[in-house]
Amino acid sequence: MTRPTDSGRRLSESGLPVEPVYGPEAQTGWDPAARLGEPGGYPFTRGVYPTMYTGRPWTVRQYAGFGTAAESNARYRRLIEHGTTGLSVAFDLPTQMGYDSDAPQAAGEVGKVGVAVDSVADMRALFDGIPLGEVSTSMTINAPAALLLLLYQIVAEEQGVAPAALTGTVQNDVLKEYIARGTYIFPPQPSLRLTADIFRYCGTELPRWNTISISGYHMAEAGATPVQEIAFTLANGIAYVRAAVAAGMDVDAFAPRLSFFFVARTTLLEEVAKFRAARRIWARVMREEFGARNPKSQMLRFHTQTAGVQLTAQQPEVNVARVTVQALAAVLGGTQSLHTNSYDEALALPSESAARLALRTQQVLAHETDVTATVDPFAGSYAVESLTDDVEEAVLDLMRRVEDRGGAVAAVEQGFQKSEIERSAYAVAQEIENGDRVVVGVNRFRTEAADEKPYVPLTVDPGLEAAQARRLERLRAGRDATAVRSGLDALRRAAAREEDNVLPPMKEALRARATLGEVCDALREVWGAYEPSDAL
């Protein structure tokens, strides 16, 4: 929403002024050729492809995963039957943190916010009957991204699919974990090395795989404004590119496989401007700082998810309207793929009917509206072009503040991004509390609790944790223990040598049926575990 000031002037989510009327005077001295370019051409303000959705719509992804691998597999099959064109996997917290389901640290969390994947057996069950050479899969996994990617590759090879045929994305963005989410394992420097190792490995083994999805979504969910979301995400992207270049990689060899992940809020005009400004800034950074010459290296390609933090448990059916507006903002902003949240996610894991309705929302936008008929419908809009310029200027200023602190990694270690986001989140909470920010059904237009429809949430079987532990026990009893020890020893040796890529020995250990927790523990022994400064 826009927020009124004491003078009556309205401000955007990022605190930028929103004028009641925009006209030609807002673009005095404005050079459309330099600022806009053509669709599919530098600086990509109007989109990364010349035809955008006029040839085919965006990739429809639905993020899903809960309980056991078998349960999630059943959900994936139904999503594909209903028209999903790309899968997006949610993993449970123990998996995200590098713990097996029977580890003490995993107690009470197995299968709760995503699917539990402990070994190649779970990955095999997760994609049973799904041809991995024909689907595009995105995996929302960061600190242990290399492990899940390798497990996916192993299962694909068991299906007879060549690695070169695999398409998808592994999130692999650990810097934002230190800023916003907290599912980190190793300290920042070895984590950056692991990211660069994934770049190098995929460059030869999985050439069609997107090696990172640099994410602003989770920062936005933690309270970042649109300007903070873009500035901190692009600063992280610069850090990853610098790490890969420092490791001896040519920028045009890996940059075309970089991708980004952003949120779409209900503030449609600012969100469209945000996406357009982000493309323009990234194109300039890649060309001017890193000397990228391949146009694909300069493109900011991104996935979008509608804003979960804006969903309400009160009057949850109103979330259908919110998600529709958010999805429209992502499409008008030029996203390459999109996930629409289910209206009941503020209450529990998405029910199957709610997930299907979220999917249908995208299909209505793609097939019943005219937003796919023309490229960049807002190009030349006085309001959107002015907002794009304003967002760009504010983003660049914040990126300079990150650079002044030594870059993204140094700023993370100083707690800069985290504290900036926390201030913004607190300000929003105050605005909602005092009524300056209207949230329909929460602080305005409320209904009595008795008028609310009863809701039956999707729940996870409480016996799942014990069953998963039994599967792990059987796996450990039936494998070649000598081969597992040998594989883990080779991984430790590679981790101790900066010049080695840890993925090849990691893959052999996983193929021998080492578990996710065992592999992460081997790396913890060499690299240590990260302790945030505010926890010391």
DSSP states along 257-298: GEEEEEEE-S-HHHHHHHHHHHHHHHHHHHHHTS---SHHHH
Which tens digit of pLDDT belongs to each residue from 324-365?
A: 999 999 999 999 999 999 999 999 888 889 999 999 999 999
Which tens digit of pLDDT belongs to each residue from 226-282?
A: 999 999 999 999 999 999 999 999 999 999 999 999 999 999 999 999 999 999 999
Please give the sequence-ordered ranges of beta strands (E in DSSP) within 203-331, or none if there are none.
209-210, 212-215, 258-264, 302-306
Residue ranges per domain, the chain?
59-365+381-451, 483-530
141 neighbors 91 (Cβ within 8 angstroms): yes
Instruction: Tally the C-alpha atoms within 13 A of residue 210's C-alpha that lie toward its C-beta.
Output: 24
* Token pair 């090879």 in the structure block, residue: 157
If pLDDT is split at 50, 70 and 90, which confidence band does 3 have? Answer: low
Query: Is residue 187 classed as helix, strand or coil in its secondary structure?
Result: coil
Domain 59-365+381-451 - what CATH class? alpha beta
Residues in Cβ contact with 504 at an 8 Å cutoff, skipping those fewer than 6 apart: 201, 494
- How many Cβ atoms are within 10 Å of 141's Cβ, its own excluded? 23
Identify the pLDDT of residue 15. 94
Pick the more confident residue, 31 or 245: 245
The predicted model scores a pTM of 0.91
Which tens digit of pLDDT belongs to each residue from 87-140?
A: 889 999 999 999 999 999 999 999 998 999 999 999 999 999 999 999 999 999
Query: Is residue 3 classed as helix, strand or coil in its secondary structure?
Result: strand
